[in-house]
Amino acid sequence: MKKYSTIIVLIIFSISLSFAQQITAQKIMQNLKEHFDAINDYTVTLDIKPNIERFNTKEMRLRLFYKQPDKVHIESKGFVMIPRQLFETNPSQLLSKFDPILIETKKDSGRTVYVLRLLSKPEKNHPALENYISIDGERWVILKLQSIPAEGRTIDITFDYITVDNNYILPSLMNASFNFGSDDDAIAKMKGFKGMPTKGTIEIRYSDYQVNKGLSNEIFEQKKTSKE
Amino acid sequence: MLNLIYWELFKTYSKWRTYIGFIAVGVLIPVIMWIMSYSGEQMIQRQLRSLQKDFFISGNLFNGWVIGQLIMNGLWVHVPALIALVAGDQLSGEATGGTFRLILIRPVSRTRILNAKYFATLLYTASLVLFIGGLSLGLGLWIFGSGDLIAIDREGISILPESELIGRFFLAYALAMWTMFVVATLAFFISSFVENAIGPIITTMTVIVIFLIVSNLPVESVENIKPFLFTTQISVWTEAFKDPYDWSKIIKSCAALGINSLLFYSATLIIFKRKDILS
pLDDT tier at B224 (50, 70, 90 boundaries)? confident
Nearest CA in chain B to A56: B158
Indicate yes or no: CB of A196 within 8 angstroms of CB of B51.
yes
- For residue A152, is it left (φ>0), alpha (ψ between -120 and 50) or beta? left
Nearest CA in chain B to A74: B58
Topology given in CATH for the domain delimited by A23-220 = outer membrane lipoprotein receptor (LolB), chain A (2.50.20)
β-sheet bridge partners, residue B226: none
Q: Is B165 in CB contact (< 8 Å) with chain A? A: no
Distance CA B182, CA B214 (A): 17
Residue A224: per-residue pLDDT: 46
* For residues A62-86, average pLDDT: 86
Instruction: Using the predicted structure, report yes or no on whether residue A45 has a pLDDT greater than 80.
Output: yes
**A142: closest CA among A201, A94, A194?**
A94
Instruction: Using the predicted structure, report yes or no on whether residue B106 has a pLDDT greater than 60.
Output: yes
pLDDT tier at A225 (50, 70, 90 boundaries)? very low
Provide the ipTM.
0.70
The H or E element that residue B6 is part of is helix B2-14
Facing B161 at nearest CB: one of A55, A58, A195: A58
Residue A14: per-residue pLDDT: 57
Instruction: Using the predicted structure, report yes or no on whether residue A213 has a pLDDT greater than 50.
Output: yes
Q: Could you tell me if A111 and A136 are in contact, meaning their C-beta atoms sit under 8 angstroms apart?
A: yes
DSSP string across A83-105: EGGGGG--HHHHHHHEEEEEEEE
Q: Where are the domains of chain B?
A: 2-274
Indicate yes or no: CB of B162 within 8 angstroms of CB of A77.
yes
Between helix B110-144 and helix B2-14 the angle, nearest 10°, is 60
Q: Where are the domains of chain A?
A: 23-220
Q: Is A188 in CB contact (< 8 Å) with chain B? A: no
**Which amino acid, residue A207?**
S
**A51: closest CA among A217, A174, A220, A201?**
A201
Residue B235: per-residue pLDDT: 85
Indicate yes or no: CB of A178 within 8 angstroms of CB of B54.
yes
Residue B175: per-residue pLDDT: 95
Query: Of the ranges A2-6, A45-49, B20-24, B202-206, which one carries the lowest mean pLDDT score?
Result: A2-6
Cβ-Cβ contacts under 8 Å, A85 against chain B: 54
**B29: closest CA among B124, B170, B128?**
B128
Instruction: Using the predicted structure, report yes or no on whether residue A78 has a pLDDT greater than 90.
Output: no
Q: What pLDDT, in 10s, does the model give residues A123-140? A: 777 777 888 999 999 899
pLDDT tier at A47 (50, 70, 90 boundaries)? very high
Q: Is B251 in CB contact (< 8 Å) with chain A? A: no
Query: Is the entire prediction scored with pTM above 0.90?
Result: no
Look at B273 and A20; give whichever has higher pLDDT.
Answer: B273
- Which residues contact residue B14 at a Cβ distance below 8 angstroms, ignoring those fewer than 6 apart? none
* H helix intervals, B98-197: 100-104, 110-144, 162-191
Distance CA A81, CA A55 (A): 11
Instruction: Using the predicted structure, report yes or no on whether residue B226 has a pLDDT greater than 90.
Output: no
CA distances from B5 to A9, A79, A170, B247 (A): 107, 47, 71, 34
A1 three-state secondary structure: coil
CA distances from A57 to B236, B238, B250 (A): 22, 17, 21
Burial of B241 (0-12, 13-18, 19+ CB in 10 A): buried
Q: Could you tell me if A83 and A147 are in contact, meaning their C-beta atoms sit under 8 angstroms apart?
A: no
